[in-house]
A and B are shown apart, each in its own frame.
Chain A
Amino acid sequence: NAGVTQTPKFQVLKTGQSMTLQCAQDMNHEYMSWYRQDPGMGLRLIHYSVGAGITDQGEVPNGYNVSRSTTEDFPLRLLSAAPSQTSVYFCASRSGTGDGYTFGSGTRLTVV
């Protein structure tokens, strides 16, 4: 199993550009989440999904959109990138009965 796969690994955007960070898991997990990691602040929840067709906001959702059309995929969209969105983004998934999230290896995004 590949686990949680994130693409791309690195991305540089100009302010105002849009892009989609991809996340796919092959473990048939119901729950999927997006976190951002900034220095000295740990990981903060952006959006999450408890199943296909169901999404909700986390702690820092502004500037991001998500959708969950399949169990496997949970893309994160930046509508109009801002320098404040420079961060490392992690996608994670878990089964409905487990507490331990499996994390992807991250996407390092720089907005200039």
Chain B
Amino acid sequence: GQQLNQSPQSMFIQEGEDVSMNCTSSSIFNTWLWYKQDPGEGPVLLIALYKAGELTSNGRLTAQFGITRKDSFLNISASIPSDVGIYFCAGQHLQGANNLFFGTGTRLTVIP
């Protein structure tokens, strides 16, 4: 299967700090997605990216589709306690294609 590596694997930050995480792939994707998973729940879609170089925001979250099409980045500004969870990147080779390849996840802990 496709290898999507996320870094860092885990982060401990103070409330109010900004967060950056990234995802790299061994192959090119045409769509990048970012999900968040809360304990005991399924992943929830945060942001979808469709074009190389695209920068998209959703509230305090900003994600970018890397120019090489092999990477993507997620930033969270002014973190709050409810940002705690696991963040996954996911890639698709074709827009609408069924097979989503997921990264290994970044576990975020926010210290109040």
Contact = CB atoms under 8 A, between A and B. Distances in A.
B65 interface: no
Interface of A: 4, 31, 33, 35, 40-45, 48, 50, 56, 58-59, 90, 92, 96-97, 99-106
Given A33-B98, A58-B99, A106 B42 contact: yes
A106 B86 CA distance: 15
A39 B43 CA distance: 15
B100 interface: yes
B110 to A, nearest CB: 22
Given A43-B43, A43-B102, A106-B42, A96 B48 contact: no
Contacts of A90: 42-43
Contact of B40 (A44, A50, A92, A106): A106
Contact of A41 (B41, B48, B96, B104): B104
Contacts of B33: 99-100
B98 A43 contact: no
Contacts of B66: none
A104 B105 CA distance: 18
Contacts of B42: 4, 90, 92, 103-106
Interface string B1-16: 1001000000000000
B104 A40 contact: yes
A99 B40 contact: no
Nearest to B41: A105
Contacts of B4: 42
B31 interface: yes
B48 A99 contact: yes
Contacts of B27: none
Given A42-B4, A42-B105, A96 B43 contact: no
Nearest to B6: A42
Nearest to A50: B98
5 contacts: A41-B104, A44-B102, A59-B1, A90-B42, A105-B40
Nearest to A31: B98
A46 to B, nearest CB: 11
